[in-house]
Amino acid sequence: MSRVHDVIRRYKASVEVARHGVEIFVIGDPAGALFNAAVRRLAYTVSENGSDIRGDLLLAANALRWRRMTQPQPGGFHLAVTEAANAVVREARMLRGAVADEALLDEIAAAAQDVRQTDSPVGDELWRSIEEADPSICAVVASSNRARAGLQEWLNPLSVPVLLPGELGDVSERVEQLYVAGPPSFFPPSLVTAPATGELTFLMPAWFRHRTIPVSRLADQADGAMKAKARERTIGDLSEPESPVPDDESMEGTYYPQPLWRGRNSGDREPGPDEAEAWKVLLAGNLAIWLDDGDRIRTLDPRQPEGERVTYAAVEDVVTGTYLVLRDGETEHGAMYEAALHLMGPRAGAIEATQRGWKTALEARLASRGARTSIAELRARGVRSAARVRAWTEATLISPKHEHDLVLLLEWLGLAVEPSHRNAMALRRAVYQASADLREELEDAVSRADLAALERDGHMSLDIEREGFRSIVVARVQARSPYTEIVPRPHTRAPFFDRSGEWLE
């Protein structure tokens, strides 16, 4: 399909949505309503008490509510719901004897068990609606990779595609009806303001009160901005238990799985010679890494064709949903460096000597003048990546990203440009060759892996034959900290156990 044709189709769909609005199926879910009422009481208690030992219970409970809303598939297809429900029961039992309101703990545990054992009525209505509309013209929109994996497995008998919001540009022309699994506020405004089809239906449980259709942040300033009307249709048993907790819009955010960032501990000091500024990145599988300001990092895209899945992404492009390919337990840099030296053969000793020479001189200059003064001087000379000067002292980092930056750096250090520049470029090419060889082995391992399980679980291990790379981890980014911390440089890019992102999607 041409780009022009796609734009025309989107305009036609926008006209239909603007004229007829979008539908919201508000579906009774008694089991979910009971659990939601208990969790609202818990959230209110935690907010009133500030830091509270019930925090882990609330995180698990919020994850269960979120998954009940966004993963309505029944029975054996909702393992994520079962996982969260089991965690709620476990956390509630652990708190017995530690808090005064044990009745609330019992209520939450019982309600979680009921949610685990009761299929969501939203799923029943989604299946019925697809069959009624004709599965061949329908598609479903999921809120996350994990939600999509579960929904797709369940809907396979109907041959209905399940997509993420960012994939709707590729939706087939035959698709006329989109069903969205979750409340409108869980999805980007573009789902409505730039619709892929003229028929758009959200399905959500009645106990979630916020039903406003999202609009662009610029809608109030724009003439003729897209503001679709909502047509609500109520279905099923809408009864809910009475709650002593008042409806409060400020509590809506408690439904969203969120990371807990505790603030920067490093202050404004400069990193030491063996330290780096790094973002904490939470990964699926209870993992995390410290991501430094390197140029790129190896990634995997399971949606690409075979042979094109393993690639590199710029560090600034590592966002939620990115799959990182990591060496289990330690960084990849050292192994690639050693592989490159092996490729250099008898030249390796001379190359190591010149690398060690200019890096030692750089360490001495940084120690005498400080990083900030050094960065300013290098920038004045035209070094584009001067902010990374501390990283260049690391043995396994070959040189600045831009070749001419190395020339300028050597001149600033008062060193002869050659043979240091020539040796560094030769070593860099060898690293690229070693990296390309590893990529081929990774592509072969990925071709044999269960990528559906990767999208469902968010992580997997790859076993390859290369010495030093026998255990490779692929893990989806769950969140990235908004600030950096100063950490030991050897700790960067090496995955470690961390439960901070346990309940993120």
Phi and psi angles of residue 39, each rounded to the nearest 5 degrees, phi first: -70, -35
* pLDDT band at residue 289 using 50, 70 and 90 as cut-offs: very high
Torsion (CA) 443, 444, 450, 451 in degrees, nearest 10: 20
Is the model's pLDDT at 460 over the cut of 60?
yes
**Would you say residue 67 lies in a domain?**
yes
Same domain, 146 and 286: no
Q: What is the mean pLDDT of residues 431-445?
A: 88
Residue 6: predicted pLDDT: 66
Of 385, 405, 430, the residue that ends a domain is 430
* pLDDT band at residue 77 using 50, 70 and 90 as cut-offs: confident
**Would you say residue 267 lies in a domain?**
no
Q: Which residue has the higher pLDDT, 18 or 393?
A: 393
Residue 489: predicted pLDDT: 84
Q: What is the Cα–Cα distance from 41 to 234, expressed in whole angstroms?
A: 26
Residue 241: predicted pLDDT: 85
Q: What is the Cα–Cα distance from 137 to 119, expressed in whole angstroms?
A: 26
362: nearest Cα among 304, 320, 326, 414? 414
Per-residue pLDDT reduced to its tens digit, 293-311: 877 899 999 989 999 999 9
Same domain, 251 and 194: yes
Residue 470: predicted pLDDT: 63
Q: Which residue has the higher pLDDT, 464 or 313?
A: 313
Residue 414 belongs to domain spanning: 337-430
**Would you say residue 270 lies in a domain?**
no
Same domain, 405 and 305: no
CA distances from 403 to 107, 230, 237, 310, 417 (A): 64, 57, 68, 25, 12
**Would you say residue 217 lies in a domain?**
no
Is the model's pLDDT at 379 over the cut of 60?
yes
Residue 75: predicted pLDDT: 77
Q: Which residue has the higher pLDDT, 461 or 219?
A: 461
- Picking from 79-93, 181-195, 213-227, 328-342, which range would have the lowest pLDDT averaged per residue? 213-227
How many domains, in total, are found in the chain?
3
Same domain, 163 and 243: yes
CA distances from 227 to 19, 164, 235 (A): 10, 22, 25
Same domain, 29 and 140: yes
Is the model's pLDDT at 45 over the cut of 70?
yes
Q: Which amino acid is at 134?
A: D
**Would you say residue 269 lies in a domain?**
no
Q: How many CB atoms lie within 10 A of CB 96?
A: 11
Per-residue pLDDT reduced to its tens digit, 101-159: 788 899 999 999 999 999 999 999 999 999 999 999 999 999 988 899 899 999 999 99
401: nearest Cα among 378, 426, 428, 372? 428
Q: How many CB atoms lie within 10 A of CB 315?
A: 15
Same domain, 347 and 300: no
Q: What's the per-residue H, E or C state across 423-472?
A: HHHHHHHHHHHHHHHHHHHHHHHHHHCCHHHHHHHCEEEECCCCCCCCCE
Residue 475: predicted pLDDT: 94
Q: What is the Cα–Cα distance from 191 to 406, expressed in whole angstroms?
A: 47
Is the model's pLDDT at 64 over the cut of 60?
yes
**Pairing of β 472-488 and β 275-283:** antiparallel
DSSP annotation of 76: G
Is the model's pLDDT at 290 over the cut of 70?
yes
Same domain, 302 and 249: no
DSSP class per residue in 240-280: ----SSPP-GGGGGGGS--------SSTTPPP-TTEEEEEE
Q: What is the mean pLDDT of residues 402-423?
A: 94
Residue 322: predicted pLDDT: 94
Q: Which residue has the higher pLDDT, 340 or 470?
A: 340
Same domain, 386 and 493: no
Is the model's pLDDT at 252 over the cut of 60?
no
Q: Which two tokens stand for residue 402?
A: 């831009």
- Picking from 209-218, 222-231, 405-414, 430-439, which range would have the lowest pLDDT averaged per residue? 222-231
**Would you say residue 400 lies in a domain?**
yes
Is the model's pLDDT at 432 over the cut of 60?
yes
Residue 108: predicted pLDDT: 94
Residue 479: predicted pLDDT: 92
pLDDT, mean over the chain: 86
202: nearest Cα among 177, 176, 184? 184
Same domain, 10 and 92: yes
Question: Count of residues for the chain?
Answer: 505
* pLDDT band at residue 160 using 50, 70 and 90 as cut-offs: very high
Same domain, 239 and 292: no
Same domain, 107 and 155: yes
Residue whose entry in the numeric block shows the structure tokens 């030692």: 360
**Would you say residue 148 lies in a domain?**
yes
Is the model's pLDDT at 422 over the cut of 80?
yes
Q: What is the mean pLDDT of residues 393-399?
A: 86
* pLDDT band at residue 468 using 50, 70 and 90 as cut-offs: low
Q: What is the mean pLDDT of residues 429-441?
A: 88
Q: What is the Cα–Cα distance from 312 to 296, expressed in whole angstroms?
A: 6
**Would you say residue 380 lies in a domain?**
yes
8 Å CB contact between 240 and 33: yes
Is the model's pLDDT at 223 over the cut of 60?
no
Residue 365: predicted pLDDT: 94
Q: Which residue has the higher pLDDT, 8 or 92?
A: 92
Is the model's pLDDT at 273 over the cut of 80?
no
17: nearest Cα among 203, 173, 195? 195
Residue 332: predicted pLDDT: 67
The runs of H, that is alpha helices, within 156-305 are 190-193
Using DSSP's 3-state secondary structure scheme, residue 61 falls into helix
Same domain, 233 and 169: yes
